Amino acid sequence: MGGGLGVAVAVLIATEQRFLTDRAPTNLTLAWAGGQGDRADRGLNHLGHDGLLPRTIGGHYGIVPKIEQLAIDEKIEAYNLPEGVIVHLYRNIVFGSPGVMSAVGVGTFVDPRTEGGKVNKSAAEDIVEPTPRENEYWLFYRVFPVDVAIIRGTTADPLGNITTEKEAVSLQILHLAMPDRASGGYVICQVERVAETGSLDSRDVRVLGILVDAVVVADPEQHTQSWNTVYNPAMSGELRIPTESLDPLPINERTITARRAAMELNADDVVNVGLGLPELVGRVAGEEGIHDLVTFTIDTGVIGGIPLSGLDFGSAVNREALVDHASSFDFIDGGGLSTIFLGVAECDASGNANASRFGNRLAGRGGAVNLAAHSLRSTV
């Protein structure tokens, strides 16, 4: 996510340092679902080196510019698939499914009749297949083996059991560890601390120790809650804060646009806000005291509360509940949303939208394809 939530920073930095020193590892295929960068040099940007990554399958490229540039320069085979499809691919690997069958992406750039999710010319292999289904046309997304899974939690015990009590989101940590083990791979989990064996409350364990091969205890500066926040208990659901304690939004063209968008809200709406300018809609609702009339969600799994923006995006304060990443997209694909707010580069009078390419920039679609396909109302 844009806020750096759940990023195993210490592991990524160590991988980069080893590559720069020893030119190893090489020839890695990197797969990720949401945005795992800061639009500069943190997160997955540590892996953005020619030779380290010959192939990428990502849900969003816009905030990992070093990998984005490798794709633009044709130095890697780059694919962009819907975020929700990627997290469901992780889950399907566990039980030996050959892939994910979905109507998500039909008629978009992911459709093999157009680009098939290929970001550049170097991406020659077809990883999405057209599939007739009764009287419909669906897409079949092929699974891939997972040799190494890099995940993050808060606390580990010596048996490898992982809890996430101080994390803002849990994302797909279990759904990465399980397919990795099913593929015969290796699971590395970054944490901020280690507890004594038997001291963790079993109700809080999110990843089973039998799935974890290595635990990395990170330095504090490499295990912040988000890119912007070292630790805020309101983001991890440990307490609730007065909404007026949030810093007020500046009055500029972005917030004015967000306020106009917020006028489209109806009481009892179940709303999703996307990356970019739409992030501000939840903040506007909080400032106007109407956030309790609707339910804001973020596809990271956050339900309720006030979504945060900028380098905290993907999290919220005063949330009502938290589900994992795959379950969040189950809810989205099942039609659980009434209204979504998406950011786009351009759109036409019919509502066709380009959210993937901004001139020479490659943004990628993130969760927008899933969201637009299954919500009742979309605002861009």
pLDDT at 372 (0 to 100): 85
Residue tagged 């009055």 (tokens): 251
CA distance 223 to 124: 37
pLDDT at 2 (0 to 100): 60
CA distance 297 to 270: 7
CA distance 100 to 89: 6
Find the CATH number of the domain harbouring 257.
Answer: 3.40.1080.10
Q: Please, are residues 272 and 298 in contact by the beta-carbon 8 Å criterion?
A: yes
- Amino acid (1-letter code) at residue 180: D
Q: CB under 8 Å to 233, separation ≥6 — which residues? A: 166, 239
pLDDT at 155 (0 to 100): 98
pLDDT at 353 (0 to 100): 76
Residue 81 lies inside a defined structural domain of this protein: no
Q: State the DSSP H helix or E strand holding residue 179, giving kind and residue range, or none if neither.
A: helix 173-182
Residue 313 lies inside a defined structural domain of this protein: yes
Q: What is the DSSP code (8-state) at residue 76?
A: S
Q: Please, are residues 302 and 369 in contact by the beta-carbon 8 Å criterion?
A: no
Residue tagged 């891939």 (tokens): 144
Per DSSP, helices labelled H in the chain are 9-22, 65-72, 83-94, 173-182, 253-262, 279-287, 325-333, 368-374
Q: CB under 8 Å to 320, separation ≥6 — which residues? A: 295, 303, 304, 305
Residue 261 lies inside a defined structural domain of this protein: yes
pLDDT at 379 (0 to 100): 65
Residue 262 lies inside a defined structural domain of this protein: yes
In the chain the first and final C-alpha atoms are separated, in Å, by: 19
Residue 342 lies inside a defined structural domain of this protein: yes
- Amino acid (1-letter code) at residue 256: I
pLDDT at 269 (0 to 100): 96
Domain that holds residue 283: 243-379
Residue tagged 């939690």 (tokens): 153
Q: Please, are residues 323 and 174 in contact by the beta-carbon 8 Å criterion?
A: no
pLDDT at 225 (0 to 100): 97
Residue 351 lies inside a defined structural domain of this protein: yes
Residue 172 lies inside a defined structural domain of this protein: no
Q: Please, are residues 354 and 289 in contact by the beta-carbon 8 Å criterion?
A: no
Total domains present in the chain: 1
**Cα four-point dihedral sign 278, 86, 106, 371:** negative
CA distance 320 to 314: 15
3-state secondary structure of 351: coil
Q: Please, are residues 67 and 361 in contact by the beta-carbon 8 Å criterion?
A: no
Using alpha carbons, select from 372, 304, 307 the residue that is nearest to residue 341: 372
CA distance 86 to 34: 9
CA distance 298 to 170: 13
Q: Please, are residues 160 and 210 in contact by the beta-carbon 8 Å criterion?
A: yes
pLDDT at 375 (0 to 100): 81
Residue 333 lies inside a defined structural domain of this protein: yes
Residues (pLDDT < 70) of the chain are: 1-2, 355-356, 377-380
